[in-house]
């Protein structure tokens, strides 16, 4: 018990935020996609693509003489662009060609794993870790960072963390307070109803999937440039799927998903802390903790969670 | 007749789908302040025609004029701009959104900062709903409101967009009699305010009641437009079907023989363990049709399900030919000789994605001649399908067509062909003509009476009182899970049945058999 209290420190909660950040961004992406009616299990693959291109672009930008911070920011933006491009494959396949969205998503996940591994080998001639690149390390926000406890937890983080924290209220606002959000949700619930009042179903679905690409790409860039300064093969390691679980756990609501991500992030952080504190539990078991939590969450102790009615159903005029 | 320029005119509109001419040079005009009926059987092309008017389909040929000017309606947006509003047969409402959100969707009022202005939306809706006397609760979620209110929301949706013409596609199909009355009042107040209304229906009584003129189409072809003063249900029916139709059911007196089905003191519970059947007992004899009348939800559905093995009876006995079948499996019961036309053909009657041929053998699919050991015998299945398509006049390009692409009447014919094809001792027909057009109704009724005349026992359950009274030899009325009355059909009046249905009167004879003889 004492050990448990000894690990409950500011650094534990800061680590929670760090672990939750990629999940939050990817989950928000998932929400936009599914709210528009397109199931996107490609989040995992899109994140991986984002992580890779963030690293690669940061590497080359630095090679061409850009200052480290600018290189890293270019990498971050590049990750969003490539995330968007990959998501458009999913969009075209599921919206234009009305293919099964789960199958399409699986294909992108496999593609991303193969492509990033291949490019790592081709460009950097290595098959494990990429070289180190300029990254987006912690950037304390003046004044706010000096607030006791909260400052240490929230305001001494990578800039991408700040983006993620801001993205939650913004997403909630867009979805529930704007006409755009109303229409986006309408095409995910009853596309024909939206179509008959002149709302362009296809355009909004492309938008939903595109946003998921941008956000999942950004989530990926946090893995390679926020938490580390390298890309390693398959570095997403299932986070895209945990983000999907957070979408469901959070009932397709940005704040709900944020809460779920914090829970998963906490499980991850405490697992590391407990290991470091030398708790006598096999580390393999502790590593399972976040995933067990995901299973428990999905098994329905969250109560009735209703997906958008038309999620996964292609729309045909 | 009105000499003014029609508000909407469709001239020589033709729509060709691959292999089918859905609309063949149709002409239609609707003037200010009138209700124009559009009559045709299911699959005659009414919905296609209106979808063209609403921009959901593009015509192959022909022109549309709005107040005398030709317009190309390339999408719903253009139709809305032209003042055309459509209330679809299946509501176009998002169930998890509020009434207000559904009404403003696509044309949302916004605040200065660009957010959704819910307050303004609610106010506008309140104003509209007062103006046209369309009572709705703007804050209620669609999934919580009644079908009648859903329809008012749909009408308000069109009004909110400034509709000047209202198309109502089969609006009464889903309404209760009281809600239908309410809808007709709404239509009257709209036409008084100058709005023309196009009312699509195949219910002759309703057309006679509300329309000024009726345009009839049959199998995609224009038959004509008739003033309501010159029309009668009989005339409309023959225009629609193309021959004289018998609207009344004709049948000889029944010749009841031995008891086939005996239901004794059945008790059953439904959702949340609430009692749904409280001691139901009755008999059905060979060679008679017993009808069960009642307001929907008084245990009729559960009664059929208990008899057919789909719902557990807690006590009591169901016997077929003196053999107990209580709580036996559905499959066993089918093989013992009960065939059922289920009340919801999409839910229980058909596998919508399967072909006509496959649906035609469901339930016998593992029996010879349709199967041998583990192998399906496709030649036998195909030959059987061809036979019943011919015999039951199922209108389809071929037997491989998925049943979901058939009209309601043709889907129902597939089920009836299959069930009668089992050569049952007892035929249960639940809502046999729900959502089926006049021509097919007559056909289905004749088939059911044929079964009786062939010496089968028939049990009919219907929410349409006309149907129960027309088909049955003996009528039972259900109320709160009990049989509260039994009348010979020849002595029954609508008023008397109504009293039983409302629970205001009861007579439970000790021996049903004596009454039937």
Q: Of A85-99, B81-95, B221-235, B492-506, where does mean pLDDT reach its minimum?
A: B492-506
Average pLDDT in the A117-141 region?
92
**Residue A295 domain-assigned (yes or no):** yes
pLDDT at A6 (0 to 100): 66
Residue entry with tokens 């926020």: A226
The answer to whether residue B511 scores a pLDDT higher than 50 is no
pLDDT at B367 (0 to 100): 85
Q: Residue A253: its chain B contacts at CB < 8 A?
A: none
Q: Where are the domains of chain B?
A: 8-241, 248-337+426-432+455-517, 339-423
Contact B291, B478 (CB under 8 A): no
Half-sphere exposure of B80 (CA within 13 A, CB side): 17
| Integer angstrom CA distances of residue A42 from A70, A85, B210 | 29, 12, 55
- Write the residue in B56, B94, B114 that is nearest to A189 by C-beta: B94
- Give the pLDDT band of residue B253 (cuts 50, 70, 90): confident
- Write the residue in B75, B102, B116 that is nearest to A178 by C-beta: B116
| Binary contact (B76, A198; C-beta < 8 A) | yes
Highest mean pLDDT among A290-294, A296-300, A309-313, B30-34: B30-34
Q: Which residues of A touch B (CB under 8 A)?
A: 173, 177-179, 181-183, 185-186, 189-190, 192-199, 306, 309, 317
Which domain, by its residues, includes A48? Answer: 9-134+154-300
Contact B103, B111 (CB under 8 A): no
pLDDT at B268 (0 to 100): 94
Alpha carbon A203 to chain centroid distance?
Answer: 23
The answer to whether residue B514 scores a pLDDT higher than 80 is no
Residue entry with tokens 């919801």: B344
Question: What is d(CA A44, CA B305) in angstroms, rounded to the nearest whole number?
Answer: 47
Interface contacts A/B by beta carbons within 8 Å: 68
| Binary contact (B94, A190; C-beta < 8 A) | yes
Per residue in A21-64, pLDDT tens?
999 999 999 999 999 999 999 999 999 999 999 999 999 999 99
Q: Is A68 buried (19+), middle (13-18) or exposed (0-12) by CB count in 10 A?
A: middle
Q: How far is B32 from chain A (nearest CA, A)?
A: 24
SS3 B425: coil
Which has the higher per-residue pLDDT, B2 or A26?
A26
| Binary contact (B105, A197; C-beta < 8 A) | yes
Q: Taking the CB of residue B296, how many other CB atoms lie within 10 A of it?
A: 12
| Binary contact (B93, A179; C-beta < 8 A) | no
pLDDT at A93 (0 to 100): 95
pLDDT at B2 (0 to 100): 47
**Residue A241 domain-assigned (yes or no):** yes
Question: What is d(CA B323, CA A198) in angstroms, rounded to the nearest whole number?
Answer: 60
Per residue in B211-251, pLDDT tens?
999 999 988 899 999 999 999 888 998 888 887 777 677 78
Question: What is d(CA B318, CA B424) in angstroms, rounded to the nearest whole number?
Answer: 16
Which has the higher per-residue pLDDT, A253 or B171?
A253
Question: What is d(CA B178, CA B185) in angstroms, rounded to the nearest whole number?
Answer: 11
Average pLDDT in the B326-333 region?
93
The answer to whether residue B206 scores a pLDDT higher than 60 is yes
CB crowding B126-156: b at 16 or more within 10 Å, else e = eebbeebebebebeeebeebeebbbbbbbbb
Q: Is A191 buried (19+), middle (13-18) or exposed (0-12) by CB count in 10 A?
A: buried
Average pLDDT in the B310-339 region?
93
Q: Residue B87: its chain A contacts at CB < 8 A?
A: none
- Write the residue in B94, B102, B110 that is nearest to A179 by C-beta: B110
**Residue A257 domain-assigned (yes or no):** yes
Question: What is d(CA A26, CA A236) in angstroms, rounded to the nearest whole number?
Answer: 11
**Residue A111 domain-assigned (yes or no):** yes
The answer to whether residue B509 scores a pLDDT higher than 60 is no
Nearest CA in chain B to A187: B94
Mean pLDDT, rounded, of chain A: 91
**Residue A263 domain-assigned (yes or no):** yes
Count of the separate structural domains present in chain A:
1
| Integer angstrom CA distances of residue B89 from A161, B40, B46, B81, B171 | 49, 15, 12, 22, 6
**Residue A252 domain-assigned (yes or no):** yes
Q: Of A139-143, B351-355, B430-434, B503-507, where does mean pLDDT reach its minimum?
A: B503-507
Which has the higher per-residue pLDDT, A238 or B295?
A238
Contact B156, B101 (CB under 8 A): no
The pair of structure tokens assigned to B280 is 């139901």
Same CATH topology for B8-241 and B248-337+426-432+455-517: the answer is yes
What pairing do the DSSP bridges indicate for beta strands B197-201 and B35-39?
parallel
Per residue in B185-204, pLDDT tens?
989 988 998 889 999 987 78
Q: How far is A96 from chain B (nearest CA, A)?
A: 19
Q: Give me the numbers of helices (H) and strands (E) for chain B, helices first please.
A: 17, 22
pLDDT at B9 (0 to 100): 94
Question: What is d(CA B492, CA B117) in angstroms, rounded to the nearest whole number?
Answer: 57
The pair of structure tokens assigned to A38 is 């397109």
Q: How far is A180 from chain B (nearest CA, A)?
A: 9
pLDDT at A317 (0 to 100): 73
**Residue A141 domain-assigned (yes or no):** no
Per residue in B440-487, pLDDT tens?
888 899 999 999 999 999 999 987 788 898 899 999 999 889 999 999
pLDDT at B501 (0 to 100): 83
- CATH number for the domain including A73? 1.10.3470
pLDDT at A4 (0 to 100): 62
The pair of structure tokens assigned to B25 is 């040079």
- Write the residue in A177, A192, A199 that is nearest to B116 by C-beta: A177
The pair of structure tokens assigned to A95 is 């919206």
Question: What is d(CA B277, CA B385) in angstroms, rounded to the nearest whole number?
Answer: 38
Kindly state the percentage of chain B with pLDDT values over 70: 96
pLDDT at B517 (0 to 100): 36
CATH number of B248-337+426-432+455-517: 3.40.50.300
The pair of structure tokens assigned to B188 is 């009257």
| Binary contact (A190, B76; C-beta < 8 A) | no
SS3 B467: helix
Which has the higher per-residue pLDDT, B515 or B311?
B311
Residue B289: phi, psi to the nearest 5? -110, 120
The pair of structure tokens assigned to A118 is 């291949």
Q: How far is A86 from chain B (nearest CA, A)?
A: 29
- Give the pLDDT band of residue A304 (cuts 50, 70, 90): low
Which has the higher per-residue pLDDT, B346 or A253?
A253
Question: What is d(CA B151, CA B124) in angstroms, rounded to the nearest whole number?
Answer: 18
Per residue in A161-212, pLDDT tens?
999 999 999 999 999 999 999 999 999 999 999 999 989 999 999 999 999 9
Instruction: Give me the helices (H) in B193-327, please.
Output: 204-210, 233-241, 300-307
CATH number of B339-423: 3.40.50.300
| Binary contact (B92, A198; C-beta < 8 A) | no
- Give the pLDDT band of residue A148 (cuts 50, 70, 90): confident
Which has the higher per-residue pLDDT, B253 or B427?
B427
pLDDT at A5 (0 to 100): 66
| Binary contact (B94, A197; C-beta < 8 A) | no
Q: Residue B93: its chain A contacts at CB < 8 A?
A: 190, 193
The answer to whether residue B510 scores a pLDDT higher than 60 is no
Among candidate residues B42, B9, B121, the one with its CA nearest the CA of residue B412? B42
Model confidence, pTM: 0.79
Residue entry with tokens 């219910």: B203
The pair of structure tokens assigned to A295 is 């299973």
Nearest CA in chain A to B108: A179
SS3 B151: helix
The answer to whether residue B271 scores a pLDDT higher than 90 is no
Alpha carbon A310 to chain centroid distance?
Answer: 23
pLDDT at B174 (0 to 100): 65
Kindly state the percentage of chain A with pLDDT values over 70: 96
Among candidate residues B229, B201, B200, B202, the one with its CA nearest the CA of residue B213? B229
- Give the pLDDT band of residue A279 (cuts 50, 70, 90): confident
Q: Residue B114: its chain A contacts at CB < 8 A?
A: 178-179
Give chain A as a 3 state SS string: CHHHHHHCCHHHHHHHHHHHHHHHHHHHHHHHHHHCCCCCCCHHHHHHHHHHHHHHHHHHHHHCCCCHHHHHHHHHHHHHHHHHHHHHHHHHHHHHCCCCHHHHHHHHHHHHHHHHHHHHHHHHCCCCECCCCCCCCCCCCCCHHHCCCHHHHHCCCCHHHHHHHHHHHHHHHHHHHCHHHHHHHHHHHCHHHHHHCCCCHHHHHHHHHHHHHHHHHHHHHHHHHHHCCCCECCCCCCHHHHHHHHHHHCCCCHHHHHHHHHHHHHHHHHHHHHHHCCCCCCHHHHHHHHHHHHHHHHHHHCCCCCCCCCCCCCCCC
Nearest CA in chain A to B91: A193
The answer to whether residue B516 scores a pLDDT higher than 70 is no
Q: Residue B95: its chain A contacts at CB < 8 A?
A: 189-190, 309
**Residue A148 domain-assigned (yes or no):** no
The pair of structure tokens assigned to A52 is 């890779």
Residue entry with tokens 């329309």: B211
Q: Residue A193: its chain B contacts at CB < 8 A?
A: 91-94, 102, 105
Contact A215, A257 (CB under 8 A): no
Which one is the CATH code of B8-241: 1.10.760.10, 3.40.50.300, 3.30.830.10, 3.20.20.70? 3.40.50.300
Residue entry with tokens 């104003």: B127
């Amino acid at each position: 018990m004492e050990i448990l209290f000894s690990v409950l420190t500011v650094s534990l909660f800061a680590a929670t935020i760090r672990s939750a950040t990629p999940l939050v961004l990817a989950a928000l992406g998932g929400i936009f996609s599914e709210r528009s009616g397109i199931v996107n299990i490609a989040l995992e693959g899109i994140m991986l693509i984002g992580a890779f291109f963030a690293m690669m672009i940061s590497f080359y930008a630095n090679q061409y003489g850009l200052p480290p911070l600018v290189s890293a920011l270019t990498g971050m933006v590049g990750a969003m662009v490539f995330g968007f491009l990959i998501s458009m494959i999913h969009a075209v396949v599921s919206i234009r060609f009305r293919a099964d969205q789960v199958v399409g998503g699986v294909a992108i996940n496999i593609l991303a794993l193969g492509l990033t591994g291949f490019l790592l080998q081709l460009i950097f001639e290595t098959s494990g870790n990429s070289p180190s690149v300029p990254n987006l390390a912690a950037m304390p926000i003046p004044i706010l960072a000096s607030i006791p406890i909260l400052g240490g937890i929230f305001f001494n983080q990578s800039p991408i963390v700040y983006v993620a924290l801001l993205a939650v209220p913004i997403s909630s606002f867009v979805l529930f307070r704007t006409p755009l959000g109303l229409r986006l949700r309408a095409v995910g619930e009853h596309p024909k109803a939206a179509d008959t009042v002149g709302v362009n179903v296809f355009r909004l679905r492309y938008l939903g999937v595109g946003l998921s690409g941008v956000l999942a790409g950004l989530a990926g860039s946090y893995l390679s440039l926020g938490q580390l300064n390298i890309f390693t093969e398959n570095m997403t390691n299932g986070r895209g799927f945990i983000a999907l679980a957070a979408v469901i756990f959070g009932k397709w609501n940005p704040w709900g998903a944020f809460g779920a991500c914090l829970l998963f992030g906490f499980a991850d952080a405490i697992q590391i802390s407990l290991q470091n504190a030398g708790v006598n539990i096999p580390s393999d078991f502790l590593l399972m903790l976040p995933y067990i939590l995901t299973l428990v969450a999905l098994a329905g102790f969250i109560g009735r969670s209703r997906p958008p009615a038309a999620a996964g159903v292609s729309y045909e005029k | 007749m009105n000499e003014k320029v029609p508000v909407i005119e469709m001239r020589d509109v033709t729509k060709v789908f691959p292999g089918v001419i859905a609309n063949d040079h149709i002409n239609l005009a609707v003037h200010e302040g009138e209700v124009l009926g559009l009559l045709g059987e299911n699959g005659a092309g009414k919905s296609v025609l209106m979808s063209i008017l609403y921009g959901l389909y593009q015509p192959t040929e022909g022109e549309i004029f709005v107040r005398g000017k030709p317009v190309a309606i390339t999408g719903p947006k253009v139709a809305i701009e032209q003042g055309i509003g459509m209330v679809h047969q299946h509501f176009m409402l998002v169930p998890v959104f509020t009434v207000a959100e559904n009404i403003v969707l696509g044309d949302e009022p916004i605040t200065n900062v660009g957010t959704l202005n819910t307050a303004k939306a609610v106010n506008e809706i309140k104003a509209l709903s007062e103006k046209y006397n369309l009572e709705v609760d703007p804050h209620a979620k669609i999934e919580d409101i009644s079908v009648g209110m859903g329809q008012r929301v749909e009408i308000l949706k069109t009004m909110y967009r400034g509709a000047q013409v209202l198309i109502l596609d089969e609006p009464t199909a889903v309404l209760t009699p009281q809600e239908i009355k309410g809808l007709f009042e709404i239509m009257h107040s709209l036409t008084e305010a100058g709005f023309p209304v196009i009312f699509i229906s195949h219910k002759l009584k309703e057309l006679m009641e509300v329309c000024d003129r009726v345009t009839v189409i049959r199998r995609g072809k224009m038959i004509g437009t008739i003033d309501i003063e010159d029309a009668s249900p009989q005339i409309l029916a023959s225009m629609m079907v193309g021959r004289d139709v018998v609207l009344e059911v004709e049948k000889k007196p029944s010749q009841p023989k031995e008891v086939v089905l005996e239901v004794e003191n059945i008790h059953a519970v439904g959702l949340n363990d609430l009692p749904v059947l409280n001691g139901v007992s009755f008999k059905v004899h060979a060679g008679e049709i017993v009808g069960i009348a009642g307001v929907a939800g008084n245990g009729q559905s559960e009664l059929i399900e208990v008899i057919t093995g789909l719902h557990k009876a807690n006590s009591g006995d169901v016997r077929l030919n003196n053999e107990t079948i209580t709580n036996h499996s559905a499959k066993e019961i089918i093989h013992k000789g009960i065939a059922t036309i289920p009340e919801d053909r999409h839910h229980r009657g058909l596998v919508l994605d399967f072909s006509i041929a496959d649906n035609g053998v469901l339930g016998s699919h593992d029996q010879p001649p349709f199967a041998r050991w583990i192998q399906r015998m496709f030649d036998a299945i195909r030959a059987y399908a061809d036979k019943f398509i011919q015999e039951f006049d199922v209108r389809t390009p071929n037997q491989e067509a998925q049943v979901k692409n058939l009209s309601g009447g043709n889907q129902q014919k597939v089920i009836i062909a299959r069930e009668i094809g089992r050569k049952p001792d007892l035929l249960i027909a639940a809502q046999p003509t729900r959502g089926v057009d006049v021509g097919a109704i007559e056909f289905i009724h004749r088939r059911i009476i044929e079964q009786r005349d062939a010496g089968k026992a028939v049990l009919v359950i219907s929410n349409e009182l006309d149907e129960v009274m027309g088909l049955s030899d003996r009528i039972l009325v259900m109320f709160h899970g009990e049989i509260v009355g039994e009348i010979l059909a020849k002595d029954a009046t609508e008023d008397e049945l109504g009293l039983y249905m409302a629970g205001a009167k009861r007579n439970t004879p000790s021996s049903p058999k004596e009454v039937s003889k």
